[in-house]
């Protein structure tokens, strides 16, 4: 069984406001939390994560397509998540 975040917080991206995503969270008993429009500081971790991915990988490389970018982005993303998890302990 896949894990569902207990109380995810997101921006107002269309993927986070879709009926299927909201239904999945509701089914698992999660509280839905969405940042207000124009308030990126309410979702600081995600905003910083995207900035790091862009600064440390995307802007430094010239990928041919998404398939070429997927592996190095995945490695950096995992590194960022592990680092954050260790920092929060």
Task: Give me the DSSP letters along 10-77.
Answer: E-S-GGGSSHHHHHHHHHTTPPPEEPPTT-GGGGHHHHHHHHHHHHHTGGG---SSHHHHHHHHHHHH
pTM here? 0.49
Q: Where are the domains of the chain?
A: 9-34, 41-88
Q: Could you list the pLDDT tens digit for every one of the 89 residues in the chain?
A: 455 556 666 767 767 778 888 888 888 887 777 777 777 777 777 777 788 888 888 888 888 888 998 899 888 888 877 776 555 44
């Amino acid at each position: 069984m896949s894990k569902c975040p207990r109380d995810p917080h997101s921006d107002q991206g269309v993927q986070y406001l879709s009926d299927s995503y909201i239904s999945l969270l509701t089914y698992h008993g999660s509280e839905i939390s969405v940042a207000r429009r124009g308030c990126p500081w309410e979702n600081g971790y995600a905003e910083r994560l995207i900035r790091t991915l862009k600064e440390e990988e995307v802007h430094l490389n010239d990928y041919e397509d998404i398939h070429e970018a997927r592996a190095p982005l995945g490695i950096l993303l995992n590194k960022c998540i592990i680092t954050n998890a260790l920092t929060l302990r």
